[in-house]
Chain A
Amino acid sequence: MNWFTKTFSSTVGRKIVMSVTGLFLCSFLVVHLIGNLQLFRNDGGAAFNLYSDFMAHNGVIRFMELILVAGFLFHIYDAIVLTSRNKKARPVDYVNNHPEQNSTWSSRNMGLLGTVILVFLIIHLWNFFVPARFGGLEGVVIEDVEYDNLYLRVVQSFQIWWYVAIYVIAMVALAYHLIHGFQSAFQTLGLDHKKYTPFIQKFGVAFSIIVCLGFAIIPLYFFFLV
């Protein structure tokens, strides 16, 4: 192995990959959420459909999409590798264990939370991303041009109560994942200073709650108000 692969196959290196990809995925969440705000325009979905069309066909976005997929895959792959290593590191468990005395629930359950998010992601992609990118949506004409009507899919999907429930639960899981993950990512990069770390920790909590709340409002909004 050369120094590069050695670095990123060590436990510390893999965590750095988790951290960098995690922060990158956080930035994606922000972009995604801002785009989704188009759903709240009272224009029958026109702005949203234009936006989704732009996202599906712009070259830069398509390129970033590949990076995003890579980010997810590395994040998930290293998570699996590390989790299996961590399980092997304690083959015999304690009979009586009280980890709640020394650590938060979310910090101990990142794998579980991540799995919930992954399952959600698959459902989410299957329902919105796949038809948007590969066809299967009804058409809609906006200013004489035909677009895929993703907005309609959103409206239809969020009329189903259990579908809304899946979204809300997933966003709660994501919030807990981020509450630990956001500040943990900075620690993992060794970015720690008594001047800045307290801010990062508070910002991380606020970020997690605001972003996830933002996403969770959408299905609730369509279920109850539209």
Chain B
Amino acid sequence: MAGSNPNAKPMDITLKVWRQKDRNAIGQMVTYPLKGISPDMSFLEMLDVLNEDLLLKGEDPVAFDHDCREGICGMCSLFINGRPHGPERGTTTCQLHMRHFKDGDTITIEPWRAAAFPVHKDLVVDRSAFDRIQQAGGYVSVNTGGVPDANAIPIPKSIADKAFDAATCIGCGACVAACKNASAMLFVSAKVSQLAMLPQGKTERKTRVENMVAQMDIEGFGACTNTGACAAECPVGISLENINMLRSEFVYAKATSENV
């Protein structure tokens, strides 16, 4: 079966992939030549092909995180040719297709690099730091049941839309991977802003930003220096405005909260 572009010819490429046996092992880049790659393949399907080859040779396949393969679960990662999620803007690795590469290309693939994201194996990293930051306050404290009617509090459409834009963060960690400081500010700010904008989140806005920023620091992420790399590489277009909103929330909270 031909794909959408019947003229596309199969390509030969060379992969340089980071291989690391486990958390404590020393890793290195390993070169794998691949032949006959269809331009209509997704990047991860190309890695599937590599892994099938490796398996048949009795070698350990390359471990990489992936799940939904439709750009929403945030599980896929990969630092491809010097960019998180590869060369296409606004695209997760699983939505990246081989048509964006050329026959004869060499492609480097590395894991996210951050002290807060230690490597489990090969290209798989531990992003549980993100969960702990969310646990520090990324929620509205309502129990199940006993809540007001959904239409009891009207929310201006513009606010709802902006909150939604912040809420679309998929938690992949590309922002950390792209940032020269391995800062998690874009990730943290997306949740802080979403809930700060909505009336439901306002009650806890002060403690939320204080606790989430504190946890972010504990996890060992770097500081934001406003390079903007995170937003430029974010596959779902989370805006830098969120970071600025986090800061004004932070200043307001620190100046007026009950925590002394």
Which residues of chain A come closer than 8 Å to B180, judged between CB atoms? Answer: 86, 90, 99, 103, 108
Q: Report the separation of the CA atoms of residues A184 and B227 in the bound assembly, to the nearest whole angstrom.
A: 9
Q: Does B14 contact A (CB under 8 A)?
A: no
Q: Tell me if A131 counts as interface (CB < 8 A to partner B).
A: no
Inter-subunit contact A14/B223 (CB<8 Å): yes
Closest to B260 in A: A3
Known contacts A3-B254, A11-B224, A108-B227, A89 near B114 by CB under 8 Å: yes
Best-buried of A14, A15, A90 by chain B (most CB within 10 Å) = A90
Q: Which stretch from A49-57, A63-71, A187-195 is at the chain B interface?
A: A187-195
With A94-B113, A98-B81, A189-B251 already in contact, the answer to whether A88 and B220 are too (CB < 8 A) is: yes
- Judge whether A95 is part of the interface by a CB distance below 8 angstroms: yes
Q: Is A218 an interface residue (CB 8 A)?
A: no
Determine if B213 and A10 form an interchain contact, defined as CB atoms under 8 angstroms apart.
yes
Contact stretch, chosen from B64-72, B95-103, B236-244: B236-244
Instruction: Kindly provide the distance from the CB of B251 to the nearest chain A CB, expressed in whole angstroms.
Output: 6
Residues of B within 8 A of A89 (CB): 114-116, 181-183, 220-222
Let me know if B223 and A82 touch, CB within 8 A: yes
Assembled-state Cα–Cα distance A11/B114 (Å): 16
- Contact partners of B251 in chain A: CB under 8 A: 16, 189-190
Q: How far is the CA of A170 from the CA of B29 in the complex (A)?
A: 40
The answer to whether B228 has its CB under 8 Å from any CB of chain A is yes
The answer to whether A90 touches B182 (Cβ under 8 A) is: yes
A92 located at the interface, meaning its Cβ lies under 8 Å from any Cβ of chain B in the complex: yes
**Is B233 an interface residue when CB atoms closer than 8 A count as contact?**
yes
A90 to B29, CA, bound (A): 18
CA distance A94 to B229 in the complex (A): 15
Closest Cβ–Cβ distance, residue A188 to chain B (whole Å): 6
Contact B82 A98 (CB under 8 A): yes
Q: Is B214 an interface residue (CB 8 A)?
A: yes
Taking a contact as CB atoms under 8 Å apart, the answer to whether B83 and A101 are in contact is yes
A103 touches B227 (CB 8 A): yes
**Shortest distance in angstroms between B232's beta carbon and chain A's nearest beta carbon?**
4
- Residues of the B chain whose Cβ atoms lie less than 8 Å from the Cβ of A180: 226
A90, B115: Cβ atoms closer than 8 Å: yes
A12 — which chain B residues lie within 8 A by C-beta? 213, 223-224, 246-247, 250
The answer for the CA separation of A11 and B228 in the assembled complex, in Å, is 17
B113 touching A15, Cβ below 8 Å: no
Task: Say whether B217 faces chain A, with CB atoms less than 8 Å apart.
Answer: yes
Complex CA distance for A101 and B227, rounded to whole angstroms: 12
Q: Taking the complex as formed, is B134 at the interface, i.e. its CB lies under 8 A from any CB of chain A?
A: no
Q: Tell me the minimal C-beta distance from A78 to chain B in angstroms.
A: 9
A7 neighbours in B (Cβ, 8 Å): 254
Which residues of the partner chain A approach B115 to less than 8 Å between Cβ atoms? 88-91
Q: Do residues A107 and B225 form an inter-chain contact, with CB atoms below 8 A?
A: yes
Asked if B254 contacts A101 (CB within 8 A), the reply is: no
Contact with A along B39-54 (1 / 0, CB 8 A): 0000000000000000
CB distance from A152 to the nearest CB of B (A): 42
- The one of A6, A13, A92, A94 that contacts B82, using a Cβ cutoff of 8 Å: A94
Q: Are B222 and A11 in contact (CB under 8 A)?
A: yes
Closest to B232 in A: A102
Give B248's nearest chain A residue, CB to CB.
A190
Instruction: Contact check, B182 vs A11: say whether CB atoms are below 8 A apart.
Output: no
Residue of A nearest to B244 (CB): A192
**A190, B227: Cβ atoms under 8 Å?**
no
> What residues make up the interface of A, taking CB atoms closer than 8 Å to B?
2-3, 6-7, 10-16, 82, 85-86, 88-99, 101-104, 107-108, 110, 180, 184, 187-192
Instruction: Please list the 4 inter-chain residue pairs (A to B) with the smallest Cβ-Cβ separation, ordered nearest first.
Output: A190-B248, A98-B82, A190-B247, A89-B222
Q: A16-B247, A184-B225 are in contact. List 4 more A-B contacts (CB 8 A).
A: A11-B222, A12-B250, A102-B233, A191-B244
**B residues with CB within 8 A of A:** 16, 18, 29, 79, 81-83, 87, 108, 110, 113-116, 178, 180-183, 213-214, 216-217, 220-229, 232-233, 240-241, 243-251, 254, 257, 259-260
Q: 12 A–B contact pairs at CB < 8 A?
A: A14-B223, A82-B225, A89-B115, A89-B182, A89-B221, A96-B81, A102-B227, A102-B232, A187-B243, A188-B247, A189-B248, A190-B244
